[in-house]
Structure 1
Amino acid sequence: MDKFSFLNAAHTAYFAELYDQYLQFPDSVEPSWRAFFQGFDFGVESSSNGQSTYVEVQKQGEPVEIPESVKKEFQVVNLIDGYRTRGHLFTRTNPVRERRKYSPTLDISNFGLEERDLDITFNAGEILGIGPATLKQIIIHLEKVYCDSIGIEYMYIRKPEEIQWIQSKLNINENQPDFNPDQKKHILKKLNEAVSFENFLHTKYVGQKRFSLEGGESLIPALDAIIEKAADMGVKDFVMGMAHRGRLNTLTNIFGKSTKDIFSEFDGKDYEQDIFDGDVKYHLGWTACRKTDNGKEININIAPNPSHLEAVGAVVEGIARGKQDRRYRENFSQVLPIIVHGDAAIAGQGIVYEIVQMAQLDGYKTGGTIHIVVNNQVGFTTNYLDGRSSTYCTDVAKVTLSPVLHVNADDPEAVVHSVLFALDFRMTFGRDVFIDLLGYRKYGHNEGDEPRFTQPKLYKAIGAHKNPRDIYAEKLKSQGIIEDGHVKALEEEYKKKLEENLDLSRQEETTVITPFMQDEWEGFEHVDETRMMEKVDTTVDMKILTEVAEAISQLPEDKKFMRKIKKIVELRHNMFFESNSLDWGMAELLAYGTLLKEGYYVRMSGQDVERGTFSHRHAVVKVEDSEEEIILLNQIEGAVCDFNEGTSCDFQIYNSLLSEYGVVGFDYGYAMASPNCLTIWEAQFGDFSNGAQIMIDQYISAAEDKWKLQNGLVMLLPHGYEGQGAEHSSGRMERYLQLCAKDNMFVADVTTPANMFHLLRRQMKVKYRKPLIVFTPKSLLRHPKVVSTKEEFANGTFQPLLDDPTASPEKVKSLVFCTGKFYYDLLERREEKDRDDVALVRIEQLFPLPTGQIKEVMSKYKNADDIVWAQEEPRNMGAYGHLLLHMEEAKSFRVCSRKFYGSPAAGSSVRFKKRHEKVLESVFDKTTENPV
């Protein structure tokens, strides 16, 4: 029997496939092959050290000497794998300077091969799809595929089918673009638009900030190619996010925004409507319906963004998921998110990692995102070597084993080829893919900067460098595709349109708001504070309330549940059908269920929200022996979305990754795309939301003023002083209240289940949307006095202020205003002291502040000579400062609170009790030394 039969039985391409499998998963390879590969690796290592090339392999207990010819074949296989794994390090992708040097190189000597092997024919060429070929031919092919204008990283991917797909694509086209003359002319046309637009602005608006795309103009033909091809592949909706670099160029040349409007923004004209403040031109969003060259109607959106460069990425993903859930639930690929990054930002900002980690999670996946990095090789004034520790700015892609293509931005055909490859991968596998568009930045960070201060050598090279359009035009001329005057004619035609629009813009005194996603918001109104204070009908028919209660208080009989789960669900039944004493958890679930019955849908996410941090919600229950998830709210009969083509409404709830910044941004985006969805983010503890402060400052509190964007996101922030220390007491309400102005959001700190029920329902029942911040309780979730009747749920309404239900106005000498959980501490102390001369009044809505009702209450208690503001938070925190800003009368209130502190609460439970006790005592005895 031939002792080499196990080698001869397979084709060389099969050897290579097995070898790749061995390198990634050694134990998955049949033992004989594993022994062979181990011997081969040892042999390669030995030969590279100048030692004997004799290789002996254990095959079923016998020593096997590998023939030199077979060993050489595998050395060529190893060389091929070297190019596949490390070829990207040796590409010609940098248009303006030499690349860094890496070792070992791809020299054949590093693979045990010699000059004399160059003319030998190897079967290993079959792996590349070129058949048996000489080593010289194999190397030429590998250089074209892996080391030209495109470098690709993909060998770390762990799914063989994805690797094989990528390799087959590379084998077919050698990673080289192959466009016909008309396609090349179209690429040149888009490049000309990009270059001419920037030149025009540079001439007409000298020194004005525009964050030009010069040096990265090939982004425009790249985006154009993605949109055109994706539409042919069935994509209906595009959602894009990008920071300011090249944004104006993208708005006009991809999204079709009129340059007349852009020129008006440059001229600093005011907006024709005074209901919002507007924003700088390179932050604005846009929505358009575009018809592709092949006649496909598509919806394209570029989201507005603040200067926090990567914040918009999370919002884009949320918008995309909102659109997918609403319209394309059966095929997420029909909505395509595209995020354009800067090189310094993608490497430096943690939000990118949070977004990337969402990519395959059930609650946040969007069927794959195309990430394009406009790589300037500098961040503001910081060199890339000072901006990251990783080799590439895109190395975050490896977190999710996403392929990365590094492309020379001066080679527009390579750029277009790369993005089409990326699109194909996304549509095939539903996964993220990254394009590193390596170019430069012609001017400083903005057009007023002097970049030579900090990068003199680089900018000397850039100053002598031709733009990508002129480089490409010369190439097409040499190919006989265009004639000498072609580019000049394109430029003159385009600039003529720009001049006409500039003249038109200067004939108008005002400019209009840039519309964004207006199609989703038809029928919704912009309202002021007066409308926000109007009472809203949130009543529910008792029959509907009962149907919902039945659904959430019955477990499936054919499944096994933990005893505690059974008890929780039984308790719900008892609350509603026997004791008529409903707690906070029931208030939430009944609010969600009744909204589902009325044709809305509900999404909630956050850390541990399915059960609830304090185990009060149990919106998802698990079958004990299988961990199957049961959502009782989705068992409600007759809950149908009339706005979603008759499909069943559902309650979606997801435990999030351990992120605040990214998840709040995602849910904000989701709410932006889904005004008929009650979208909720809950913090594990209220002050954990400070991890999302950028989203709160830039979007939640300011977006309606900046971008005329409504949003109904609800944030639930557990808040209350129970002695759990500095990070588990305060939702930092003072920060939200400081952001409140005019009519930008609701802030509430409610104390009864019924008020919470109506507050959540109000969020959907109005014909406008405002963010809602709710400081929710912890200890009150099971407090025996924090209950409401089902009649209060069915027939009540949200009450911004709750007067004291037991106080007699004639007897009251001390009128105490408070908010939230502290009310129940005060109530308990009042009962202990038997003080019927003290009235406790709760302010349930902190913004808009119900000042009219507060004044009415003050006039009601005419005999009260002591008016108190009581809060458990330190004086510099909580709602006291907000009260002073919005109500003149508050200046005369006696304040009972903790002292001024830097930390929200004491870490020691003993110290906590002392401070809390002092505040309580000061409320009931104004002669007691005030704790301040």
Structure 2
Amino acid sequence: MHEGVMKAWLESSHLNGGNVAYVEELYEAYLDDATSVPEEWREVFEQLPKVDGVDVDVKHSEVRSQFAQLAKNKHREVVVAEGGSGDPKQVKVLQLINAFRFRGHQNANLDPLGIWQRERVRDLELEYHDLSEADFDREFNVGSFAVGRETMPLGELYQALKTTYCGSVGAEYMHITSTEEKRWLQQRLESVQSRPTFSKEEKLRILKGLTAADGLEKYLGAKFPGAKRFSLEGGDALVPMLKELIHRAGESGQKEAVIGMAHRGRLNVLVNVLGKNPSELFDEFAGKHKDTLGSGDVKYHMGYSSDFATKGGNVHMALAFNPSHLEIVNPVVMGSVRARLDRLGDKSGIKALPITIHGDSAIAGQGVVQETFNLSQTNAFSCGGSIRIVVNNQVGFTTSKQSDVRSTPYCTDIAKMVQAPIFHVNSDDPEAVAFVTQIALDFRNQFKRDVVIDLVCYRRHGHNEADEPNATQPLMYQKIKKHPVPRLIYADQLVAEGSFSENEVKALADDYRNGLDKGNCVVEEIQLETSHSSDWAKFVGHDWDVEYDATVSVEKLKELGEKVASFPESHKAQSRVKKIYDDRKLMATGEKPLDWGMAETLAYATLVDAGTDIRLTGQDSGRGTFFHRHAVVHNQKDASTYLPLQNISEKQGAFEVYDSVLSEEAVLAFEYGYATAEPTSLVMWEAQFGDFANGAQVVFDQFLSSGEQKWGRLCGLTCLLPHGYEGQGPEHSSARLERFLQLCADHNMQVCVPSTPAQVYAMLRRQSVRPLRRPLIVMTPKSLLRHPLATSSLEELSEGVFHNMIDEIDDIAADKVERVVFCSGKVYYELLQERRKQELNNIAIVRVEQLYPFPHAEMDTIMQRYQHVKDFVWCQEEPQNQGAWYCSQHHFVDAIPAGAKLTYAGRKASASPACGYMSVHNKEQQALVADALTIEKKG
């Protein structure tokens, strides 16, 4: 680096006194590994002048530590670095310690099959640090190496480092920037050299877990040969691991645990951890099932819940229902846990624990994993950290070459983005597995962060039991065929050390098999389940048109309106926001008609005033993408915030609105999980633009539209999707209404297109007040938010009735009508204005505000006025192959009078949702309105 550049760096504000700790930490990291710091800092450090007489610089923190130790014991003779006169090997020893902390995992004994090809790590060799066996008897200061001693002979230290970092546990944590967290982990690992002592009782618990895991798979394989079960064999340690985790969770104060996992080993976990009766599982294998109203799902997707007894009390466990869309259940689990924490009033994240189980290919390959990690420390989605377990069987279906599977050394490297500690562990060493499980939970509870356990194992069979793995992994499966099962390896170890006899080991296996034969629960910790969730009973057995009362007096609306239109005088709002709030004050008194934002806000106000909790998340939801909501008022003087909806009354329900991270899939899945765990709250997700919902299509397809049918899971999640054609191009016009209608059947969800403020008010209140919990998909407007015709009165809101259809509002004689135009959404106002302009009093316009479930009763009532009409039109803004035309026209055909004809007015079919040119858009819009309102003259 040139001298001038060096001078510029030294004079930089980055190097002022306030940043000394940061720069010093960077420099110490540079001394450990020059490649670990940014290139610009590396160049600076390389140009620093050398200290006279010293070839290698010494860390300041270590010098301080050594002086402190010398002060405590002045007469002890220890080799330390003292400027240029000390032994430079002391520095090398400290560098050796850090080398093992950074890279020891690369030499760890992790692969039970021994087929990993690991590159030589020279940093871990004595010679790399100018040390040798000749130095083994010399005492060196061990710095921060947490062995409870200040000095150790090099030989003993070297062995301790290898045992700690290169045994059955490979710990990755030096990427963490927090010194406190790193020191905590070092204390837990180094103090016992990653080999803790387990009591006989603890060893028995581990052996029982392995016996159960192995016993169930063998039993199912013999009883149902060839049937798919996606066995856990090879990863058997997962069962004792989960049981260890739940036991420790109970002792740590956790009351609930939610588990999410895909199909691999799921049946084993259901029976051997959650305590599902084996007889129920056997019935499912035999094709028997309980009579339900739904379609059901395959056995390895089903969920379960139970109570697990620990020394610290019962832990309620829930295994989330999960489709075969790998990794998507992870944010669902987080949402469920957040709902439980909110219900328990626990801000610390201690009382409920999320546990997610991943596959090695999936955690590296599925994008929702990154999205979920990104949620973990945010205000809206944090739940105190998750325990993330990877069942790393080293193969994804038929793909096992690392160069085909991922671009990172480990499948878990994605977790480094949130500085999660990662423990790689050999699954054939179940005591090491139990050890890292304990550390993982304790770290999570201490620091409220995610922790990852990479359970390195293998898959004894193919992807499923009917698959032939030798076709694609011949060498791997030659090894597997000869490899003893984990239970046998551990049992032999316990017998050899004298902990148990061979007869005792055999008796455990016999007892377990006898339990399976009886068909009763085989998990001794399982208790009679108690209630841990909100009461869903009142929401069961109702259809969408169940009666409800949502009226609110005008006086009450005015009272609430005054509150939601006010903020403290000391709070200086931005000028446009202040104007919106000034207008809302006039709306609250009835001096001005209500716009969309005020009606929506009043819906929330009436609900929280009655004690209902509300949760709204989405990109820019606090303000609203289109500047209409302003639920959060930002002080222009000090950036503080004020939320009127949090200041309604002392006993009000909670109102939480969050600007979400910039993703759809994980966020929507999180909110689904939240809504399925909390039926009494109004839970909403808002897309920035409706088009962006397609990034979360898996959630709509696999959970929202079909969860009740497949699993009997009710969900009242509301999705607000801005939709409307204003010439903004293909990506900001359509919420893909047609896709949601295509998913509709069996009254599985509601699809609404409200066109007035009173309608959105009533719709939101209906979703909460009505004793029904099904997803609500809303095509919300953009231009209607401030449309002069799209207004409502307090009296209209007071009625609290959502009109599924709205008949003609102008004074048009029904017997004079020659054409009826059906429509939904903002196109109604364009039709209305054009018809009024042309004084077409022979055309009636009927709005369909709920497209599904289709309101047949309201349609029949309206049609009574138009039995003489033969000309009916469906008008829409969307292209003909999109929108509601194809999915809903049969409802209209069935409802119109016999002999009448239904025709289409709208854009022609198109591969793209909308055109990209405003001029073309305007021509198309004018044409479809004209088409809907033009009656061809006969003769």
TM over 0.5: yes
- C-alpha deviation, 1:629, in angstroms: 1.5
- SS of the residue corresponding to residue 556 of structure 1 reads coil
2:287 matched to which residue of 1? 268
- C-alpha deviation, 1:103, in angstroms: 4.4
- SS of the residue corresponding to residue 875 of structure 2 reads strand
Contact 1:191 1:217 in 2 (8 A): yes
CA distance in structure 2 between the aligned counterparts of 1:815 and 1:39, rounded to whole angstroms: 95
2:504 matched to which residue of 1? 486
CA distance in structure 2 between the aligned counterparts of 1:271 and 1:42, rounded to whole angstroms: 77
1:918 matched to which residue of 2? 927
Change (3 A) 1:928 1:735: farther
Change (3 A) 1:137 1:492: same
RMSD between superposed Cα atoms in Å: 2.7
CA distance in structure 1 between the aligned counterparts of 2:730 and 2:28, rounded to whole angstroms: 56
1:705 paired with 2:709, answer yes
1:909 matched to which residue of 2? 918
1:576 paired with 2:588, answer yes
Change (3 A) 1:635 1:502: closer
1:880 matched to which residue of 2? 885
Contact 1:883 1:890 in 2 (8 A): no
Change (3 A) 1:713 1:166: same
Contact 2:750 2:852 in 1 (8 A): yes
Change (3 A) 1:302 1:65: closer
1:180 paired with 2:199, answer yes
2:627 matched to which residue of 1? 615
1:224 paired with 2:243, answer yes
1:827 paired with 2:832, answer yes
Of 567, 570, 576, the residue aligned with 1:558 is 570
Change (3 A) 1:126 1:338: closer
Change (3 A) 1:18 1:119: farther
CA distance in structure 2 between the aligned counterparts of 1:141 and 1:290, rounded to whole angstroms: 38
- C-alpha deviation, 1:603, in angstroms: 0.2
Contact 1:211 1:245 in 2 (8 A): yes
Contact 1:320 1:670 in 2 (8 A): yes
- C-alpha deviation, 1:68, in angstroms: 6.7
1:662 paired with 2:671, answer no
- C-alpha deviation, 1:71, in angstroms: 1.5
1:548 paired with 2:556, answer no
Contact 1:286 1:516 in 2 (8 A): no
CA distance in structure 1 between the aligned counterparts of 2:369 and 2:611, rounded to whole angstroms: 35
2:302 matched to which residue of 1? 284
Change (3 A) 1:774 1:350: same
- SS of the residue corresponding to residue 734 of structure 1 reads helix
Q: CA offsets per residue over residues 758-778 of structure 1, 9 Å max, x none?
A: 110011112220000000000
Q: CA offsets per residue over residues 346-381 of structure 1, 9 Å max, x none?
A: 000000000000111000000010000000100000
Q: CA offsets per residue over residues 403-445 of structure 1, 9 Å max, x none?
A: 0000000100000001101011001101100000000000000
Of 114, 129, 142, the residue aligned with 1:97 is 114
- C-alpha deviation, 1:926, in angstroms: 4.0
- SS of the residue corresponding to residue 324 of structure 1 reads helix
- SS of the residue corresponding to residue 532 of structure 1 reads coil
- SS of the residue corresponding to residue 921 of structure 2 reads helix
1:781 paired with 2:785, answer yes
- SS of the residue corresponding to residue 442 of structure 1 reads coil
Residue type matched to 2:258 in 1?
V
Contact 2:765 2:800 in 1 (8 A): no
Residue type matched to 2:431 in 1?
E
Change (3 A) 1:578 1:797: closer
2:150 matched to which residue of 1? 131
Of 597, 610, 634, the residue aligned with 1:585 is 597
1:852 paired with 2:889, answer no
Of 448, 455, 460, the residue aligned with 2:478 is 460
1:740 matched to which residue of 2? 744
CA distance in structure 2 between the aligned counterparts of 1:883 and 1:38, rounded to whole angstroms: 81
CA distance in structure 1 between the aligned counterparts of 2:217 and 2:50, rounded to whole angstroms: 56
- C-alpha deviation, 1:110, in angstroms: 1.6
2:700 matched to which residue of 1? 696
Contact 1:287 1:516 in 2 (8 A): no
The equivalences for 1:596-635 within 5 A come to: 596-635=608-647
- SS of the residue corresponding to residue 378 of structure 1 reads coil
CA distance in structure 2 between the aligned counterparts of 1:38 and 1:876, rounded to whole angstroms: 76
Residue type matched to 1:358 in 2?
L
Residue type matched to 2:859 in 1?
I
Structure 1 gap segments, 5+ residues each: 1-14, 46-63, 505-514, 641-648
Of 358, 364, 368, the residue aligned with 1:341 is 358
Contact 2:333 2:354 in 1 (8 A): yes
- SS of the residue corresponding to residue 878 of structure 2 reads strand
- C-alpha deviation, 1:125, in angstroms: 6.2
1:238 matched to which residue of 2? 257
Residue type matched to 2:636 in 1?
E
CA distance in structure 1 between the aligned counterparts of 2:486 and 2:530, rounded to whole angstroms: 32
Change (3 A) 1:678 1:39: farther
1:523 paired with 2:514, answer no
Contact 1:286 1:301 in 2 (8 A): yes
CA distance in structure 1 between the aligned counterparts of 2:25 and 2:731, rounded to whole angstroms: 55
Contact 2:278 2:521 in 1 (8 A): no
Structure 2 length-normalised TM: 0.89
Change (3 A) 1:838 1:480: same
Q: Which segment is superposed worse, 776-785 or 569-578?
A: 569-578
- SS of the residue corresponding to residue 298 of structure 1 reads strand
CA distance in structure 2 between the aligned counterparts of 1:35 and 1:333, rounded to whole angstroms: 47
Contact 2:394 2:456 in 1 (8 A): yes
1:51 matched to which residue of 2? none
- SS of the residue corresponding to residue 519 of structure 2 reads helix
CA distance in structure 2 between the aligned counterparts of 1:590 and 1:431, rounded to whole angstroms: 38
Q: CA offsets per residue over residues 207-265 of structure 1, 9 Å max, x none?
A: 11111000001011111011101111100110110001111111111111111111111
Change (3 A) 1:28 1:540: farther
Contact 2:258 2:355 in 1 (8 A): yes
Contact 1:22 1:28 in 2 (8 A): no
- SS of the residue corresponding to residue 369 of structure 2 reads helix
Contact 1:726 1:906 in 2 (8 A): yes
2:317 matched to which residue of 1? 300
Change (3 A) 1:124 1:38: farther
1:359 matched to which residue of 2? 376
CA distance in structure 2 between the aligned counterparts of 1:124 and 1:518, rounded to whole angstroms: 50
CA distance in structure 1 between the aligned counterparts of 2:368 and 2:933, rounded to whole angstroms: 48
- SS of the residue corresponding to residue 307 of structure 1 reads coil
Change (3 A) 1:469 1:16: farther
Q: CA offsets per residue over residues 708-754 of structure 1, 9 Å max, x none?
A: 00000000000010000001111101000000001211110010111
How many corresponding residue pairs? 875
- C-alpha deviation, 1:867, in angstroms: 0.7
Contact 1:271 1:278 in 2 (8 A): no
Change (3 A) 1:538 1:384: farther
1:725 paired with 2:729, answer yes
Change (3 A) 1:309 1:801: same
Contact 1:593 1:633 in 2 (8 A): yes
CA distance in structure 2 between the aligned counterparts of 1:533 and 1:145, rounded to whole angstroms: 64
Change (3 A) 1:156 1:126: closer
- C-alpha deviation, 1:298, in angstroms: 1.8
Contact 2:209 2:240 in 1 (8 A): yes
Change (3 A) 1:459 1:918: same
The equivalences for 1:29-44 within 5 A come to: 43=56
Structure 1 length-normalised TM: 0.90
Change (3 A) 1:434 1:804: same
- SS of the residue corresponding to residue 727 of structure 2 reads coil
